[in-house]
Structures are given as C-alpha cells and as structure tokens.
Amino acid sequence: MKIKDKSALIIAILIPLTVGSFSTVLSGGVSAYSVINKPASSPPAALFPIVWTILYILMGISSYLIYVSGDANSKKALGIYALQLIFNFFWSIIFFGLSKYLFAFLWLIALIMLIVLMIYMFYQINPIAAYLQIPYLVWCIFAAYLNFMVFKMN
C-alpha cells in the first residue's frame, strides 16, 4: 500500500479508535460485561479491547483507501462508513449502559446490514478496502449471537 497522505491515514485510524473508546467510556464496557449472565462461548473480557483495537485500525485503513481513491462514489461509501460507525458507537451504550439487550440485538442486526452494504460499496471502489472489513463483519455476527444469548439469559 502506497501512502499518499500520512496525516489522512493517521486521522482515518484515529476516528474509529476515538469513537470506540468514547463509546466504551460512556457505556461502562468491560465492567458491565462482568456482571451479566453470558453463554459459555463468551470470550474473556480482556479480549474485547484487543480485538476492537485491531478492528478499528483495519476500519481506519480501509476508510483511508476509499478516501484517497479518487472514485466518484467514495463520498457516498464513506457516508455509509460514517453511519455504521454511529451505529457501532451506540450499540455499546444500548447494550452495556442501558442493559436493553433485545433492542441492542436489533440495533446490531441493523449495524450488520450497514456493514454488508459498506463492504459492497467499498468493494466497488477498492477490493482491499472491502476485504479489510471482513473481520469486523465476522466479529459483529459473533457479537449478535452473544447479544441474543445474553438477552435470553438475563
């Protein structure tokens, strides 16, 4: 990957990292996770910050590739990226902060649909940018399973 604008890449990576960090602070994140009933397949709380940091970095790199592409559709694709990032931000607050597990599950389904749309749009512009979003999609599908199980168990 040839970096055309290093400051744009840094900003692109910092945006999702900042959104995720702020959401975690507002929601109570890891501390709230320890007090709910969870399925046996739930990862340890310490894994979440590691996974999300990696996913946010991949998201930032992916959005950077779309931003510098010069494609006529990049603005629309980045709009969907921003929208899914907003949905991502509020999911933690709904799930952890408000303990609205069913609503959080439905919100997460909407987020997953936005991620699929974003991947499709990114693929049209830069396939690598789309591929970088696949781990995020897979993690959110797993999170939907966990979210649904938490809803059933609490």
Q: What is the pLDDT of residues 75-106, one digit of tens each?
A: 999 999 999 999 999 999 999 999 999 999 99
Tokens for 98? Answer: 């408000």
Question: What is the model's pTM?
Answer: 0.94
CA angle 43, 114, 37 (to 5 degrees): 25
pLDDT at 1: 60
Tokens for 88? Answer: 């991502």
Asked if 20 contacts 56 with a C-beta cutoff of 8 angstroms, the reply is: yes
> Per-residue confidence of the chain (154 residues) as pLDDT tens digits?
667 789 999 999 999 999 999 999 998 866 777 889 999 999 998 899 999 999 999 999 999 999 999 999 999 999 999 999 999 999 999 999 999 999 999 999 999 999 999 999 999 999 999 999 999 999 999 999 999 999 999 9
pLDDT at 33: 78
CA–CA separation, 22 vs 1, rounded Å? Answer: 29
pLDDT at 29: 65
Residues 6+ apart with CB under 8 A from 68: 4, 5, 8
pLDDT at 7: 93
Asked if 62 contacts 133 with a C-beta cutoff of 8 angstroms, the reply is: yes
Structural domains of the chain, with CATH: 6-30+44-153 (1.20.1260)
